Amino acid sequence: MVDPGKAEDPDKWIVDMEEFLSNGIPPEEMWREERKRLGVHTRAYCLSHGNLYHKSADGIWRRVVRLGEVEEILREVHCGVAGGHYAGEATGREVWQSGLWWRIELKDAHWYVKECDICERTGQPHESARIPYELVLPLEPFQNLGLDFVGPFNPTATQTGNKCILAAMDYCTKWVEAKALRDNMALSTVKFL
């Protein structure tokens, strides 16, 4: 059975496709129309090293995932080491980018995120909890400065005993100044300014 939605065994269509690609003979229990459809569908599939691959609309071959692997993959992508409990759309994209494919992966990703206990408990932050973003544009030179220390460096970078570098940038003119300093204390910073 080619259509995964109509098969009694959800992975039967994968088995049928693998058999057809390996020996070119469709399963005997298929009707004539299903055999024709199988021939048309095989253009988007290939068998390599015992794994079935699907050619997606973007032209990339992705490994076809069996139903038994889906929950483990979604758990790893959503909650695992690299996961960040992202929303369903982002979780589905992450699966897509990892080179895996199944027929309803985006729908399954949304379902998995909806059922995630941690996501359900924490939820999305409310608007009142967010810090308002205020853009501050400098109108004149030296109105806003950015300061950054680099270091300390060991061994000392110069014969004078300087261990740090202080960099300053004016946000209006984009003027940058840098100076080597002995330490990163407030007194050294004030003398620089």
Residues of the chain with pLDDT > 90, as a percent, come to: 0
- Answer whether residue 5 shows pLDDT above 60: no
Mean pLDDT over 159-166 rounds to: 80
pLDDT per residue over 21-65, tens digit each?
887 777 777 677 777 777 777 778 888 888 888 888 888 888 888
Mean pLDDT over 75-93 rounds to: 79
Take residue 14 and report the two structure tokens written for it. 């994968």
Phi and psi at residue 56, to the nearest 5° = -80, 175
Mean pLDDT over 77-102 rounds to: 79
Strands 100-101 and 51-55: unpaired
- Residue predicted with more confidence, 137 or 99: 99
Residues of the chain with pLDDT > 70, as a percent, come to: 83
pLDDT per residue over 43-52, tens digit each?
788 888 888 8
pLDDT band at 117 (very low <50, low <70, confident <90, very high): confident
- Residue predicted with more confidence, 183 or 136: 183
pTM flag (> 0.85):
no
pLDDT at 2: 41
With CA atoms as reference, report the closest residue to 44 among 32, 33, 36, 52: 52
Domain boundaries, the chain: 12-64, 67-122, 145-192
DSSP letter string, 22-65? HHS---TTS-HHHHHHHHHHGGGEEEETTEEEEE-TTS-EEEEP
pLDDT at 7: 45
